[in-house]
A and B are shown apart, each in its own frame.
Chain A
Amino acid sequence: MTTVIKAPGEAAAERSGGPGRTKERDGRRSEGVVLNVFSHGFLVLWAIMIVLPLIWLALGAFKTDAQIGGSALSWPSNWHFDAFGRAWTKGIGGYFANTLIVLVFSVPLTMLFGSMAAYVLARYPFTGNRLVYYFFVSGAMFPVFLALVPLFFMVKRFDMLNTYQGLILVYVAYSMPFTVFFMHSFFRTLPTAIYEAAVIDGASDTRIFFQVMLPMAKPGLISVGIFNILGQWNQYILPAVLMQPQTSADPERYMLTQGLIQLQYQMGYETDLPVLFAGATIAIIPMLAVYLSFQRQIQAGLTSATLK
């Protein structure tokens, strides 16, 4: 792929780079034009490769089952939304609700616990401070698979398999490394003078945290918050192991990702593929909305977290 950089115009420019300065200028300009066409060509091609499959998937929701199986490039014959309705009642609605229920608790709890730990570790020197910090942060390095088997039995022992509260606690625990790591660096940058002023005003440490520090850390909280929402919304392995009905009387509490895969299996037998395409589209839409509203913070947050 890198060979493409050596565009014809560029090679010419390299050769011409010598005697006359004007000649060199011309060479460089034509190099620019050729390269510009080249760059746009490749960039547009990849952009199409990203967008086209997604549009094609959404169009599938409007096709008939026979159309989907018959030809990939056929145009939908009707523009009714009934496949979306069927997908919703076939379970997507319930999975959507389950995911929302879990996230409504797990994300705020993650933010609260993560900030509390990060704040203490960032601003209070005590013996073992570094140890506890590395303890928290090291969790990000290990593969989840390593913990999966004992985790299952740990949750089982608490009688919390296939319960919302079980998954909430597990989500919070597994989001700790990143949240503590990110908020730690954020709290460190807050000025000490403000803390001292608050102490002189007679505020307790707890009060300073909730009423002074937390509001000041808002930009950081927003970045980590979005990141945690995305991470927990997209989580698949943890619910796949922990959220299986334990008896036949146990209700299905699948998360959206898990339910989508379930739908894929079901539709394979029932041959109602438009429902699967509609289900996937329903799952994509909130992500698209969150992403487009916060794309600047998401890109900045993920990049800074990785580069640090």
Chain B
Amino acid sequence: MSHVAQGRGKGGFITAFLFAPLALYLTFVIWPYVQTFGYSFTNWTGQSPTFDFVGLENYSTLLKDDDFRGALGHNLLLLVFVPVVTILLALFFAFMVNAGGRSGAGGVQGVSGSRIYKIVYFFPQVLSLAILAVLFGAIYRSDEGGLLNGFLIKLGLIDPKHPVEWLNEPNFVLWCLLLVVVWHGVGFYLVLFSAAMQSVPKDIYEAALLDGAGRAQTFFKVTLPLLWDSVQTSAVYLGIAAMDMFVLVSTMTSGQFGGGPDHHSEVMSTVLMRNFLYFGKSGYACAMGVVMLVLTMILSVITLRATRRERIEF
């Protein structure tokens, strides 16, 4: 093949290689995303092929929808607690694993067996949310058969005749779900922060130690500032996860697509799915999707801005 032919064939080659991936992606990802905006201005039921343009009606209904407003409140609550609790625990464990060991001749060391800890902690991350739902559904059982109740009864903290109905208790249900998310996520962020800590040159720690810094000081003055980028990224990821929550809420709590008891664990995604698949309000559900997108975007920007610091080069 001559070089001229090669040059001419490039456009064809590029088109051929991009065609199938791009076509699939446009059809099943981009186009539905775009359509959501359009449908959100209609009263489409999803059943009938016809629908009317209703302008902003769905959005104004949304503002008055108590279920959705409650769900939004729960999402915001989770949005604060999921990242804060997960990141603090992960940072704590990461520091322990990487710098909690005896200080020997070589300065700060990780604890022995740090690799084992990382392997064990990370494992929940590869389990599907469906498995988590079954596992924690069993742990939170409302009778003595639940692992949590079983332990608390054994310790004499609760009356065996009246075990706690964890997932049916309006005040507990959201926190029970939060615990599942934290249990699932800590290991991943531990590994993430460990990787970041290990990329910090050892002599920075040693210099800090020689200067007489304690471990707490080393952590707050040296480690944390150097990890800030990863902490920031993690906050955004966890925030996005806290906006979703669909699988856990819909499978672990009572009600059609979850949200029970009496809407106390409702999140936006469960209200959306119920309106779409159960009430047949597709247009309305699309409006909820748009609100979720806008909120996610705003929150990502806020998180990135609020946590912005001077970048430290090393």
Interface residues of A (CB under 8 A from B): 1-2, 4-6, 10, 13-14, 17, 24, 28-29, 31-33, 35-36, 38-40, 42-43, 46-47, 49-51, 53-54, 56-57, 60, 68-73, 113-114, 116-117, 119-121, 124, 126, 132, 135-136, 139, 141-143, 145-155, 169-170, 172-174, 176-177, 180, 199, 202, 204-206, 209, 230, 233-237, 241, 256-258, 260-261, 264, 276-277, 279-280, 283-284, 287-288, 290-292, 295, 298-300, 302-303, 306-307
Complex contact A40–B21 (CB within 8 A): no
Contacts of A4 in B (CB 8 A): 92
Q: Name which residue of chain B comes closest to A120, CB basis.
A: B17
Interface flags for B19-57 (1: CB within 8 Å of A; 0: not) read: 011101101111111011001000000100000000000
Q: CA of A256 to CA of B91 in the docked complex: distance in angstroms?
A: 34
Q: List 14 A-B contacts (CB under 8 A).
A: A17-B212, A35-B100, A39-B111, A40-B111, A57-B135, A146-B33, A146-B36, A234-B129, A236-B129, A260-B131, A279-B134, A283-B130, A291-B122, A303-B192
Q: Write the nearest CB–CB distance from B215 to chain A, whole angstroms.
A: 6
Q: Are B276 and A72 in contact, with the CB atoms below 8 A?
A: no
In B263-300, the 8 Å CB interface with A consists of 269, 272-273, 276-277, 282, 285-286, 289-290, 292-293, 296, 300
A258–B121 touching, CB < 8 Å: no
Task: Return chain A residues, CB-CB under 8 Å to B260.
Answer: none
The answer to the question of B170 belonging to the interface, with a C-beta cut-off of 8 Å to chain A, is: no
Contacts of B150 in A (CB 8 A): 71-73
- Tell me the nearest residue of chain B to A238, going by C-beta: B28
Contact (Cβ within 8 A) A154 B122: no
| B196: A residues at CB distance < 8 A | 307
Chain B nearest CB from A187 CB (Å) reads: 12
Which residues on the A side are within 8 Å of B273 (C-beta)? 148
Q: Shortest CB–CB separation between residue A155 and chain B, in angstroms?
A: 8
Q: Give the residue of B14, B96, B124, B244 whose beta carbon is less than 8 angstroms from that of A124.
A: B14
Report the Cα distance A46→B190, complex, angstroms. 12
**A53 in contact with B32 (CB, 8 Å):** no
A306 close to B192 (CB less than 8 A): yes
Residue-wise interface mask of B (226-247) relative to A, using a CB-CB cutoff of 8 A (1 in contact, 0 not) = 0001100110010010011011
Other than the given A2-B91, A54-B135, A277-B138, 7 more pairs (CB < 8 A) read A50-B187, A117-B21, A143-B296, A148-B276, A150-B33, A209-B17, A236-B247
Residues of B with C-beta under 8 A to A290 = 126
CA distance A121 to B148 in the complex (A): 52
Task: For residue B313, give the distance in angstroms from its CB to the closest CB of chain A.
Answer: 16
Indicate if B62 sits at the interface (CB-CB under 8 A): no
Contact of B130 with A258 in the complex, beta carbons under 8 Å:
yes
Verify B192–A307 contact, CB threshold 8 A. Answer: yes
Q: Assuming the A-B contacts A149-B46, A176-B29, are A50 and B183 also in contact, with contact meaning beta carbons closer than 8 angstroms in the complex? A: yes
> Closest chain A residue to B293 by CB distance?
A146
Q: For residue B243, which residue of chain A has the nearest CB? A: A143
Contact between A46 and B124 (Cβ–Cβ < 8 Å)?
Answer: no
Identify B92's interface contact among A1, A145, A151, CB under 8 A: A1
| B73 on interface, CB distance cutoff 8 Å | no
Once bound together, how far apart are the Cα atoms of A36 and B99, in whole Å? Answer: 9
- Chain B residues lying within 8 Å of A53, measured Cβ to Cβ, are 135-136, 139, 147
Q: How far is the CA of A235 from the CA of B246 in the complex (A)?
A: 12
Contact of B145 among A2, A5, A68, A257 (CB under 8 A): A68
**121-153 of chain B: CB within 8 A of chain A:** 121-131, 133-139, 141, 143-151
Min CB distance A194 to B, Å, is 16
Given A136-B25, A173-B29, A205-B13, A2 and B195 contact (CB-CB distance below 8 Å): no
Interface-central residue, B120, B234, B269, B289, by most chain A CB under 10 Å:
B289
Of the residues B145, B186, B214, contact of A72 by C-beta under 8 Å: B145
Note all chain A residues with C-beta closer than 8 A to B29: 139, 147, 173-174, 176-177
Say yes or no: A139-B30 contact (C-beta < 8 A), given A57-B138, A145-B272. yes
Given contacts A73-B150, A277-B138, contact A288 B28 (CB under 8 A): no
**Residues of B contacting A6 in the complex (Cβ-Cβ under 8 angstroms):** 216
CA gap between A92 and B137 in the complex, in Å = 18
- Taking CB atoms, residues of chain B closer than 8 Å to A277 are 138
Q: Quick one: which of A49, A169, A283 contacts B24, CB cutoff 8 A?
A: A169
Whether B103 pairs with A151 at a CB distance below 8 angstroms is no
Does residue B102 face the partner (Cβ distance < 8 Å to A)?
yes
Shortest Cβ gap from B292 to chain A (Å)? 6
Q: B144 contacts A303, CB within 8 Å? A: no
Measured CB to CB, the nearest residue on chain A to B134 is: A280
Given A1-B89, A57-B138, A307-B192: A47 and B147 within 8 A (CB)?
no
A31 proximity list for chain B (CB < 8 A)? 103, 214-215
Given A50, A261, A264, A300, which contacts B121 in the complex, CB threshold below 8 Å? A50
Q: A307: shortest Cβ distance to chain B, in Å?
A: 6
- Does B309 have its Cβ within 8 Å of any Cβ on chain A? no
Determine if B127 and A284 form an interchain contact, defined as CB atoms under 8 angstroms apart. yes
Is the pair B149, A72 in contact by a Cβ cutoff of 8 Å? yes
A261, B216: Cβ atoms closer than 8 Å? no
What residue in chain B is nearest A144 (Cβ atoms)?
B244
Q: How far is the CB of A197 from chain B (nearest CB, A)?
A: 14
B302 at the interface (CB under 8 A from A): no
Interface residues of B in 1-23 (CB under 8 A from A): 1, 6, 9-11, 13-14, 16-18, 20-22
Residues of B within 8 A of A54 (CB): 135
Q: How far is the CA of A200 from the CA of B50 in the complex (A)?
A: 60
